[in-house]
Structure 1
């Protein structure tokens, strides 16, 4: 069943990229949007100060701001039908050279902030009898690449957590979807990306090459954020939305290849695996 015409979307990270494109797409179809960004000025003019837009300052690592933003959404619109956890960024380094402060900051934004915001919204969805949590993860949430170990770990964490949330939320009418984009023409590989240069020669051919190639394709990626936004809006209208949606041809190829190889590897050792159980 399609979302109601007056449905309310709460979208994080709307200053650029997926978040901004999605907020504009939702407003264009006449629905209501709580659009958040660290700098509220970046989202204040999304729809010409429409009465269907509530722009809010939100750093998802700030628990006080999370509480205030969810309460402001409740006061203005009375409900949240779709929560889109989009805020986050990439960090690249070899595993050995990963910096503690960068790793923790990555998890604060990509994982713990997402967890905290969702926990704040769930009571509203539970009380209203349903809702849809959409988590923007990544192909890296399903496939680990050299140079992206800590970013991949943050997205894998959200994927596993989303499985549990889906199981707990289903009886309450709360659905969960992870969107797993491949390379898209956003600021992810440009302004937003953090990197620790690879200094150890042994990792130059793996992590080092990955860091260089990521920067070099910035602004030339195949993925179109506006088409991605349209796909997400269409998905939210489905009566039974999928648990996963990979975006982009490159992402589809990477994920399906990895899953086929993983399934083959597991099945090839079925006999040895089953033999570890106590005998009947």
Structure 2
């Protein structure tokens, strides 16, 4: 059960007791020694989809690099470079000690952070999930991550989290699929209808983005090409209901093994530019 990166400074039996205690917590719990993580609990393993801190370091790097760069939260850009992030977050007001991280399904969560120092050189860090109270307020009231007209994610937020999406897809051995939907005229009511109709057909973990005034981007993780084509067909069926009054077209593409997310999006954009057909696929 030992999740240490290196040999633990604890005696073996004491370590087992500590592991059992932190595994009882529903919060995400990390134990640091001399500013390095040496243990994390079962809730953290489930959240990130890894079993050991070696896996975590290999897939994600440091814990603070998992903090979503968002103006409403504490994140890497706000850290005082002269001190570890734990000290930086403890130097601000308690009400501001909030970070956001994406789970293994690319779903955003907000956490309040508590740092306890039981012994000199040791830190117990607790991440209490406050998503239900905070994410809804930030994303609907402040409209920070959402397009104001359609309530799809905005492009800036997508560009912030796309590297994390790529990492998660690689680790979970998933394919990344893209659907780019374009429509002929820039009409707010029509864009709202398109957004609502697509969101009614996709899964909670799929990501619908307002790409520009006349297009939406749908990103989804799937297990096979067959699954990708099923998603694409759902989108086409959804768009068909608008064809009588509004001209639309869609391009579906799968990310190749060594391709970036930006590259697959460019492929879709170029295909739509080069064709006059309503529906195409790569």
TM-score by length of 2: 0.26
Larger relative contact order, structure 1 or 2 (CA cutoff 8 Å, min sep 6): 1
The structure with the largest alpha-carbon Rg is 2
Larger helix share, 1 or 2 = 1
Larger strand share, 1 or 2 = 2
TM-score by length of 1: 0.26
